[in-house]
Amino acid sequence: MGEFTNKIDFAVLVTVHKANPNGDPLNGNRPREDYEGLGEISDVCIKRKIRNRLQDMGERIFVQSADRCDDGAKSLADRAEKNEGLKEAKKDKNSNNYAQIACKTWIDVRSFGQVFAFKADNVSVGVRGPVSIQTAESVDPIDISTMQITKSVNSETKDDGKKSSDTMGSKNRVEFGLYVIRGSINHQLAQKTGFSDEDAEKIKEALLTLFENDSSSARPDGSMEVKKLFWWRHDCENGQYSSARVQRTLIIRAKDGIDNPRAFEDYVIEHEDLQGLIPEIMEGR
């Protein structure tokens, strides 16, 4: 595997149409929003989707969803215990070797980092990953609607043999929103985990296809879509500009005369080129 050459910044434009991109379990699973009414998608949610896409691409993943488990492991500790290299490193109490083996084995560990802290095994190893993801935020305040639903399923048999009563519930969704996912890939941390240019291309592919195999009742197929990916590859290891300055070059605003955007086409997407740094712009798939 080759090395990671130069710093990368990226931004992903995502549309949401009548879907719940990331429910808040402490707020009745309503779509997340901040105090100004802007919609949010947590970095944890985004990393979960990237992991799922990488797994679909045949990569080995350490933090797997229970319904996507491909190795029979029942927990993270169980998955680590199945790795002979990690077992030997644990016996030798070599934390550096433990981290190196974990990074080499699982792409999500060498991308996002991982804390290995298993009480029963007396293990405590921390890995900082080079790929950082910010909480995604909508460009404009979102409108959240609530739909009352009835679950007409005879889930339990009553003592008198009759059908159980229907259950009332609700579903929350964002009518429309344009969200921006921002992130970067750090060269110094990539060197420590063994993250390579080849891995960066896999992250790019995962971002372009972020919602494949991700449909659910809250997110039907087609309700969430990657529209554009901006990919800034710097010409030096530490980057010509800070990530904050690079991200500010992306300008998104509603077209003149449109007060309440309801489609991606209602926006003007512009970017200011920094000297020596021009982004690769790709359409979602």
- pLDDT over 80 at 72, yes or no: yes
- For the entire predicted model, the pTM comes to 0.91
User: Partners of 157 in the beta sheet?
Assistant: 163
Residues comprising the chain, all counted: 285
Half-sphere exposure of 252 (CA within 13 A, CB side): 21
Question: What pLDDT, in 10s, does the model give residues 169-219?
Answer: 778 999 999 999 999 999 999 999 999 999 999 999 999 999 999 998 899
Statement: residue 10 has pLDDT above 80: yes
Closest C-alpha among 102, 133, 129 to residue 117: 102
pLDDT of 1 > 80? The answer is no
- How do the domains of the chain map onto residue ranges? 8-72+130-158+167-283
pLDDT of 138 = 97
Rounded Cα–Cα distance for residues 242 and 9 (Å): 9
Neighbours of 225 (CB within 10 A): 15
Nearest-CA neighbor of 14 among 183, 144, 132, 147? 183
